[in-house]
Structure 1
Amino acid sequence: MSRGLKILLVEKNVNPGGYLSSFKRGDFIFDSAVDCFSGIEKGGLISNVLKLLDVDSQVHFVRVDPIRVSMFPNLKVSVDSDINTYMDKLMAIFPSEAAAIRGFFKRASMVYDELQIAINKLISGEFELNIISPNILKLMYSSYEELLVEYITDYRLKAVLSDRCTFVGLPPSKASAFSMIALMMSYFKFGAYRPVGGFQKLANVFVDGIRKNGGKAIFGTEAKQIILDKQNYCTGVKCDNGDEYTTRYIISNADFNHTFRSIMGGKYSSFARDMTENIGSSTSFFIVYAGIMGDAGKYSSIGYYPSYDMEGFFSPDKTFKEDTTIGITIASIEDKSRVPADCNTIVLHEMADGSRWDCVDKSKCTGAVLKKAESIIPDIMDRIVVLDSATPQTLQRYTGNYHALHLAGDRRRCSRG
C-alpha cells in the first residue's frame, strides 16, 4: 500500500486473525494459539509493517524475558533474550561443549544477518536472487539435526537447542535448519513480545491499517474460487455470496491443500498431492485454555520435556502420555489486563495428529494435559474458574488448514507420512 497498491482482504470468519486471535471466557482473555513473537523492536518486520500502515501507535506490547524456560529431567534452562547471557549459561552447564556452542551461534548469527539483508532488499524493491548466499541455500536443504551434529556431541545439549522444534511441530530430523535458525535468532535480535490485551488487538490494528490506506476488508465471506484467465494467470476471486473481485495480485492464506485442490478449481490438485507426499506437513495441536485463581509461577512461556528424546516426542502414538511434551503460556504474568484480580490464564499446547479426531474423548484429553501441567503449576485443577479446549478439528474450522497442518518449518527434501 505504501507503493500505491490497495488491498482487499476477504475473510470467512467474522473476526480477523486466524491463529493470531484472542477470545473471552468469562472475564479471562485467551490467545487462540500464539505464544509470543519477535519483530517488534526497531528494524523488526512487524514494527516496519505497523509504521508503513501508520498504525504503530494503536497497539502496545509487553516484552517476554526470558523468552522461554525449558524444563528437562534434572535441568531447567531459561532462554534469556540476550544471546551472550544465554550462551554463557549453556557453557556453564556444558563446559566440554563451550567451543561448539560458540561456533554454533556464530554461524547462526551470520546466517540470520544475511537473511535480514535479503529481507531489507526485498522491502526496498532491490531484491535479486543472487543476494541469497550459499550459506543460506545449504541450510534450506539441510535438517536441523544435520546442523546440530556438525557442532554438538552431548545428547542433552542437542535436546536443549531443539526446544523450539515443538513450535514448528517437527522433530530435528525433519525441521529445516534454516527455519529453526530464523526462528531462534529472530527472538535474540528483535525480542519476544505479546500485544497488551491479546493478539486480537494486533489483528484488528492490521485491518485498521488496511482501511486507513484505502483498502477494504470483508468478513463472514469465504473466497470460494480464484479466477484464472485463458493463460492460467490469476485475475480475481469469487466469494461464496456470489460477489467477484478483479485484482493484479492474489495471496491465498489458505493452506496449500485447500488452495490447489479447491479454490483453484482442482486444476492444480497434483501440486497439493506432490507437496503432501514429498515435502510433508508438521503436526497439529490440542490446546487447553484454563482461567485459574491464584499464583501461576514467574515464567510465562514454558516448555516441559520429561526426557531428552526430542525425536520421540513427535511420534503419533505418544500423544497424551505422561512422558510427552507440552508447552505452557501464562500471558497474564506480564499482562494483567487479561484477567480478574488474583487470577491467571493458562494455555497448554499438546502436539496431536490432526487426522485422528472423529472418536476421541475431548474431556479425557483435557484431563491428561492438565495432569501433566500440575507438575509445573501445583493444584491447577483445583483452582480452575473457566475451562475450554480446542482440537485440531477446531483449528481447521477456524483457519481452513487441512488437519490444521502447515509447511512452515519443513525442509524440502523430507517426507512425513
Structure 2
Amino acid sequence: MSKNKSILILLMISIICISPIYGASSDWTMFQQDASHEGFLEEASDFVTNLWSFNMGSSIYSTPVIHGDNIYVVSNDGILKSIDMEDGSQDWSYNLGTKVTASPVIANNTLFVGGQDGSMYAYDIQNKNLKWQYDTSKPIESTASVNNGTVYFGSNNGHVYGLNSEDGSNVYDVSVGGKIISSPTVVNQTIYVGSTNNEILALDINSKNQTWSYTTGDEVRSSPAVSNGTVFIGSSDGTLYALNQTDGSVNWKYDSSDKILSSPTVDEYNNNVYIGSDSGNVSCLDTRDGTFKWAYSTGDKVRSTPALYDGGLVIGSNDGNAYILNKFTGECNFSFNPGYFFFNNPISASPVIYGDSLFISGHDGYLYSLNNQKNEAPASVFLYYAIVIIIVFIAVIYLLIRFLKNIKNKNKIKSKSHTQKVSGDEEEKEIIDKENQEKL
C-alpha cells in the first residue's frame, strides 16, 4: 500500500513539474510565434483581455511578444515596456538608449532585441536588469531567433551571429554579404535567412558552411517560414519563392506584381501560405504547388506579416487598418482603423494573437487590445480628435453659409435701395415736367 502511495505521489509531482512547460508553450515569445515562423498558436488559451489602448510615446515598428500575463513592446525610440495584458496597465519600463525596429524574443525569462546602435541586448525581465549586450558595429534590424540556448540574428554588416543566451559570448559568426534584415529561421541545425545581396541562404550550424544559396532578382528582406520540407520566402523582386529545404531548388514561385517585404505565414493543416505585398494585396496560395486561391486588396502596401487563429487571419496595412479575414475565402470579417481616416498611420508590425485577444501596434505609437472573436475594438484617442475635426468642419461650413447669406441679403437691400432711388428720381422728374407744362 505504501509503495502505491509513493508511486502516486511521484506521479503527482511529475505532473506538477511538467505542467509549467505546457503553459509556456501557449506564449507568443517571438516574431511569428515560433522558430519556424508559422504565425500560429496551436495551444492558445481562452483568455480574453479587456479592450484597451496604450501609448508608447513613439512609433512602433516591432512586433510585441507575450510571456506569462504580460505583453512586451519596444518603441522606435528604444523604450521597452512590460504591460499587463488584461487591463493595459504598465508594469515596468526600461530605456535601451537606442532606436529599435527589430522585434524582441523571449527565452528563459530573458528578452533579446537588437538596436540601431549595432548592439544585441539581453534584458532579464524577472530581475529587471540588463544581463549583457554584444556589439556588431552596424545596425541590427533582424529579429533574433533562439534555438537550443543560442540567439541567432543578422546584422547590417552582413554577418549572421549566434550568441550564448546566458553570457552573450560569440559561438557562431558567418559573413554572407549584404545586409541581414531578414529574421533567421532555425530548423534541424540549419539557419535559413535572406540577404540584401539578393540571396536566400541555408547555413549549417555545426560546420558553419553554406549548404546552399538561391539568387533572386532583388533584395531579400522577408523572413523565411519553413514547413514540410519547403522554405517559403519573399523578395523585393515581387516573387514568393517555395524552395526545397534540402538543396534550395525551386518547387514553385508566385509573382505578386510588387515588392514583398512581408513574411509568409504557413497554415500546415489547410496547405495554405499567406503573404502580403506592396501591391496592397494579401494573397493565399496552395503550399504544394503555388495554386492561387484568393487575394484581398487593402488600400496601401502590406508589409505586416499575417497571424492565424481558428478560421481567421489578421494582418496590418499601410492604409492604417488592421484586417481580420476569413482564411479560407479572404472575405473581410472586421477591420479596425484607429486613426479614423483623419490620422491614418501604417501598421507594419505583425499582429499577436492570444486566445480570444488580438494585439495590434502601429506607427501611431499605440498598442491596442481587441477581441478577435466578437470583433470588438477599443475607442482610439484619435476618435476624439476626429470628432473635433468634424465639429470644426461643420462649424466652418455653417459660418460660411451664414456669411454667404449675409452677403446675399446685403446685395438684396442694396439692389432694393437702388431701385427705390431710381423710382424716386423718375417720379420727381415727372412732377417737375408736369409743373413746367402747367406754367406754359
**TM-score, normalization: structure 2?**
0.21
Kindly indicate which of the two structures has a greater share of residues assigned to strand.
2
Kindly indicate which of the two structures has a greater share of residues assigned to helix.
1
For the pair shown, the structure with the greater C-alpha radius of gyration is: 2
Larger RCO (alpha carbons 8 Å, 6+ apart): 1
**TM-score, normalization: structure 1?**
0.22
